[in-house]
Amino acid sequence: MTEADIKSIALFFYFALLDDRRAIEASTQALALCRDKKHRNPELSTSVALVAATKITWDKFKVRVTRGRPNTTVESGWLVPEGVDLGPWREFQKTASEDELLTVIWSKILKIEDNDISEGLGITQGTIRYRLGRALRKLGTMTQGVGKLKHGTAGR
pLDDT of residue 146 exceeding 60: no
pLDDT of residue 69 exceeding 60: no
Question: What is the sign of the dihedral through the CA atoms of 55, 66, 4 and 1?
Answer: negative
Least confident of 26-35, 51-60, 89-98, 113-122: 89-98
Domain boundaries, the chain: 3-74+81-150
Distance CA 51, CA 36 (A): 13
Instruction: Identify the pLDDT of residue 155.
Output: 47
Longest dimension (CA), the chain: 59
Instruction: Identify the pLDDT of residue 74.
Output: 45
Pick from 15-29, 39-53, 137-151 the range whose average pLDDT is largest: 39-53
The amino acid at residue 46 is T
- Mean pLDDT value across the chain: 85
Which residues on neighbouring strands pair with residue 150, listed in sequence order?
none
CB 13 within 8 A of CB 27: yes
pTM for the full predicted model = 0.81
Instruction: Identify the pLDDT of residue 120.
Output: 97
CB 138 within 8 A of CB 106: no
Distance CA 72, CA 32 (A): 23
Q: Please, which residues have CB within 8 angstroms of residue 127's CB and are 6 or more apart in sequence?
A: 118
pLDDT of residue 154 exceeding 80: no
Nearest to 20 by CA among 86, 68, 79: 79
The predicted model gives 49-64 an average pLDDT of 92
Predicted confidence band at 67 (pLDDT cuts at 50, 70, 90)? low
Which residues on neighbouring strands pair with residue 71, listed in sequence order?
19
Which spans in 18-97 are helix H?
Answer: 20-40, 46-61, 87-95
Nearest to 6 by CA among 22, 27, 23: 27
